[in-house]
Structure 1
């Protein structure tokens, strides 16, 4: 008799035949990763010997069938990634042997049934990405001594979390309505991944941050809560931490010095808080750091030059909307792997470093890129997202974050010319130098930046004409050169003419897409004047020769006559003497 039916990872479609319910000795049914539609046949509950029922990654609809509790031998029930709805039936609590329950990525509603705590053999419980409400049933941890993974992410569950069971390795409660103070950890905790983001937790970080149960934790996300107070100096306990989010809270004080004692940290996001002071020198010990996001705080002082020398693995550096001042250190040019450099909205001054052409990823020298920005932990890879300002709008990038190429120096006090070296950044997709004090002309080779999708040079003191090479930028979706001192004709190109007039305001430009046409000035033509005056500007050699010949002929006629005729000679000399006396 058939005990295992495995048809997973095919392109099967249609409904699941109810005749499967006749396979009374069936122990394992694997139908995941197909395109099955319709509801789960009620006859499946006849397969009382089933140990594994895997129907995930299909297009199944309807409810979990009544009588699911009769499958008392089930150890794995996987219905994830479908379009199932309705409530989670109380009969789930009759599956005493159940170890793994996957119901995530559906449309289940209602409360988590209290009977679920009867499943004392649970190891993995994943109900994330549904529309569940209410509170977590009492005893979901204490009555499940083997529970290692609990995922309730992106539901509408509320209540307080007092403690985290010591057996749980992966706890994800993000995207719910939990509140109150942060839970505490026991010293025997085996927690590796902890996500409490996008909730309403308040108060201090102390309960979690300074616990002795965090030595194994690699993933820690408290972003988008209402936490306050200072970030305590307890980070030496977090010796395994790889990814840390504290963003979008009300945290204050300075960046703790001991944060530099987390040797394996690769991702650090503390943006949108009230952090003040400067960047501690200990932060430069984080040599594996790939993402450093400290934007939208109250940080000040200069940008430490050593960032470029010590943190050479950085891919994303975001310091926007702070109070950093002084020159941008040339040492930043050692960040050859950087893909996003966002220093916008500070008080930085001086020239834009010419050595930015050392960015090997942005210039296209380094081509081995990941589409997603992923970090590898023991339980698999984590794909991160980040909020970036591109094309004048802020958006969260996840699926293609590894391909985003951005340089934003806007809203500072940079002066001098735009370095021509920037035009060698052939893979750059967004360049924003707006709202500075830049002068001189736009580099002629800006058309070499073929990948540009967004270019903003507005509100500067740029002069001269728009380079003709701008017409070669075929992927531009955003373009702005308004409020400069530019003159002349707008270059003709497929993209340039598609932009609104506002992209060119505040200059002396003309031609499409502007309504004012360029005035054509003809050069004066002097050839016709020369024809009209008979060529009076030319030398008339015939006239000159005639005058000379007449003079010579007259001279010799008089001289010869005086020599041959004596009476003429005497008369001439008498007349000459009278003229002298007079």
Structure 2
């Protein structure tokens, strides 16, 4: 047997030792420890979850496979760098052991149902760039320790129940580009230190309970494109500094308690601004004309403030404007004609101001994209321009509570997308060359029409038979106090989707057509104050959903229908001031949902039964001016 030399023995021993290190163990002792740490951290994370037996983590996160191949886990050099477990309906709590995966770059646990509080140990993840836990049920406070995650670029904690104040220490996150803590229960002031986010692009603090003034320091957010502070309790003036951020595309400060005037220079430096939401505050003064320099502006919301003065003529230069609303202010003067030359305009809302004057005669010729126009509760006068009928994409036209006069435009049928037409409380009349309301014939083409409201206009015409050819989607038709005459057309029974019919206070004559039996979705009927006659049709009783029936101040005669007892959803009924001559059907007193009854000023007679006490929901009942011999009597 050959003997080994000492040198060869030493070499052989060294080779064997090298083999043990490289093949029996991982590449180093420290690697062994950290790999094990990642594995243990993942198992600890899993142990804090409430998992169903067949859930992906219960079946996939097992020792039969290396953890780097587990669902939602990504590794680099066998170290966990990413945990992506979004939208798995995970329940339980976020384990503090997650911070032991020291190489983590991304944590995405969004759209689950995790509870508990964010662990302060997250601050030990020095490589972390993305932390996304939006749409969970997390509580507690934002850990100040997160400020130690120096590489953090995205912090998304939105849609949780996180409370307390925003830690001032977060301002140290110099690499942060995306901050979203919206839709939580955060309180206190916005720390001025958040103005240190020099790289921040998205700033979402909306829908919390934050208060105090908006810090002037936020004007230093030189890279921000979206700033959303909506739905908080911020007060004081808006700092001029934030109107100098040239990168700003969306600014939403709506639904706060902000006050003061807007700076005259507003818009001069907002060259990128596309959306400006300042609605539901207490802002005063005039709308700055300089805002017209924000040439990319598409959405401008100024509703529910205390703004006054005129709409600047320069706003016609906003050629990308799509949505402009300034309702519930004190704006006066006319709408600049130049505003109606913005071909991109889709929605214009001006309600509840002091606007006046005529609308331009060519209003609809340059608005090919107009979908909604709301002009109600102003002081407009003159005719509704027939050219409005050229805005063929219009779905809502509301011009109520003004002083518009002249005939209702005859070509409304060109608005084939129209869903909502409200012209009530004006001085509109019918075509003087016709006794019938001929514009109904045109409205037949509006196959999507759902709301037709014409109340309080001196139309002075006859409802044509074409009313029955209106949209099968029509839900509301009211023409109260319109000096209507003639009868109610039998064709009205074709409006099978109708749930509100209001024709009170007119001069309608004749009988109620039996076709009402076709109105099976009708919940409210108002026919008070006409000259209708005959017996009350039993067809009303077939409308099972009927809740309000007002037939007072007509000339209905005969008996109260016995079938009224079938109207089990009835809440209000008025038959007052007719010439009804009968007893009240006994079953009527079993309508337990009735809250208001007016049978006064008829010739009703007979005893009032003790069953009247069944009407426990009644708060108003008037049976006066009937047979004086009426008295209570048992069955």
Q: Same fold (TM over 0.5)?
A: yes
1:65-464 correspondence runs (5 A): 65-141=143-219, 143-161=220-238, 162-163=240-241, 164=243, 165-183=245-263, 184-187=266-269, 189-205=271-287, 207=288, 209-211=289-291, 213-284=293-364, 285-308=366-389, 310-350=390-430, 351-352=436-437, 353-362=439-448, 405-424=450-469, 425-464=471-510
- Structure 1, unaligned runs of 5 or more: 364-404, 521-582
Change (3 A) 1:34 1:420: farther
Quote the offset at 1:117 in angstroms: 1.4
TM-score by length of 2: 0.71
Quote the offset at 1:24 in angstroms: 1.6
Which residue does 2:555 correspond to in 1?
Answer: 508
Does the Cα contact within 8 Å between 2:523 and 2:546 map onto a contact in 1?
A: no
Change (3 A) 1:11 1:517: farther
In structure 2, what is the Cα distance between the partners aligned to 1:59 and 1:220? 34
Change (3 A) 1:45 1:472: farther
In structure 1, what is the Cα distance between the partners aligned to 2:246 and 2:171? 23
Change (3 A) 1:140 1:188: closer
Does the Cα contact within 8 Å between 1:486 and 1:508 map onto a contact in 2?
A: yes
- The alignment's C-alpha RMSD in Å is 2.1
Of the structure 1 ranges 316-325 and 285-294, higher mean CA displacement relative to structure 2 is found in: 285-294
In structure 1, what is the Cα distance between the partners aligned to 2:541 and 2:111? 47
In structure 1, what is the Cα distance between the partners aligned to 2:301 and 2:291? 16
In structure 1, what is the Cα distance between the partners aligned to 2:99 and 2:514? 72
TM-score by length of 1: 0.77
Which residue does 1:390 correspond to in 2?
Answer: none
Which residue does 2:29 correspond to in 1?
Answer: none
Higher relative contact order (CA 8 A, sep 6+): 1
Quote the offset at 1:136 in angstroms: 1.2
Does the Cα contact within 8 Å between 2:522 and 2:545 map onto a contact in 1?
A: no
Quote the offset at 1:91 in angstroms: 1.9
Change (3 A) 1:417 1:132: same
Does the Cα contact within 8 Å between 1:472 and 1:493 map onto a contact in 2?
A: no
Does the Cα contact within 8 Å between 1:255 and 1:280 map onto a contact in 2?
A: no
Change (3 A) 1:115 1:233: same
Does the Cα contact within 8 Å between 1:96 and 1:120 map onto a contact in 2?
A: yes
Question: Which deviations, in whole Å up to 9, do the C-alpha atoms of 1:433-457 show, x marking residues without a partner?
Answer: 1111112222223232121222111
Does the Cα contact within 8 Å between 1:272 and 1:295 map onto a contact in 2?
A: yes
Q: 2:100 aligns with which of 11, 22, 32?
A: 22
Which residue does 1:548 correspond to in 2?
Answer: none
What SS does structure 2 have at the residue aligned with 1:157?
Answer: strand
Does the Cα contact within 8 Å between 2:425 and 2:456 map onto a contact in 1?
A: yes
Of the structure 1 ranges 298-307 and 482-491, higher mean CA displacement relative to structure 2 is found in: 482-491
Quote the offset at 1:48 in angstroms: 2.7
Quote the offset at 1:260 in angstroms: 2.3
1:40-51 correspondence runs (5 A): 40-51=118-129
In structure 2, what is the Cα distance between the partners aligned to 1:431 and 1:500? 15
Change (3 A) 1:29 1:283: same
In structure 2, what is the Cα distance between the partners aligned to 1:226 and 1:357? 38
What SS does structure 2 have at the residue aligned with 1:68?
Answer: helix
Quote the offset at 1:280 in angstroms: 1.2
- Larger CA Rg, structure 1 vs 2: 1
1:45-60 correspondence runs (5 A): 45-60=123-138
Q: 1:484 aligns with which of 530, 533, 548?
A: 530
In structure 2, what is the Cα distance between the partners aligned to 1:169 and 1:360? 38
Does the Cα contact within 8 Å between 2:363 and 2:385 map onto a contact in 1?
A: no
Does the Cα contact within 8 Å between 2:441 and 2:466 map onto a contact in 1?
A: yes
Quote the offset at 1:218 in angstroms: 0.9
Change (3 A) 1:75 1:347: same
In structure 1, what is the Cα distance between the partners aligned to 2:235 and 2:182? 18
In structure 2, what is the Cα distance between the partners aligned to 1:213 and 1:138? 23
In structure 2, what is the Cα distance between the partners aligned to 1:28 and 1:261? 49
Which residue does 1:374 correspond to in 2?
Answer: none
Does the Cα contact within 8 Å between 1:278 and 1:299 map onto a contact in 2?
A: yes
Which residue does 2:624 correspond to in 1?
Answer: none
Does the Cα contact within 8 Å between 1:435 and 1:459 map onto a contact in 2?
A: yes
